[in-house]
Amino acid sequence: LRLDADVATLSGVFDEIAQGALHCRFRDCRHQGEPGCAVREQVAPERLRNFHKMARELQRDAMSALQRKEQRQQWKSRHRAVHARDRDKRGDGP
């Protein structure tokens, strides 16, 4: 999946953040003010800002891909529902 590759690239480019994250108190630390965050202690603030910006963009890409998929599924199930109603109508006919 493209997103996985992007995330791998992100943690490759921001290697010191990935390394620092190992020492954060929380495993799911987002390095945005959590107590015991090792990344915020080690990484320059503007670098961390860049990291968050890229992470947000990746997330937005993933979200819109997911939303597109959900929309397709919704449309499909609506389509199916209409067909089912047509069948019922025909069954009730004289």
Q: Which residues bind Zn ion (CB under 5 A)?
A: 24, 29, 31, 37, 39
- Counting Cβ atoms within 10 Å, is residue 34 exposed (0-12), middle (13-18) or buried (19+)? middle
CB of 24 to Zn ion, least distance (A): 3
CB nearer Zn ion, residue 32 or residue 77: 32
CB nearer Zn ion, residue 33 or residue 93: 33
- Quote the CA–CA distance of 29 and 25 in Å, as a whole number: 8
CB of 61 to Zn ion, least distance (A): 23
* Alpha carbons within 13 A on the beta-carbon side of 56: 7
CB of 47 to Zn ion, least distance (A): 13
How many Cβ atoms are within 10 Å of 74's Cβ, its own excluded? 10
- Quote the CA–CA distance of 11 and 15 in Å, as a whole number: 5
CB of 37 to Zn ion, least distance (A): 3
CB nearer Zn ion, residue 59 or residue 67: 59
CB nearer Zn ion, residue 36 or residue 60: 36
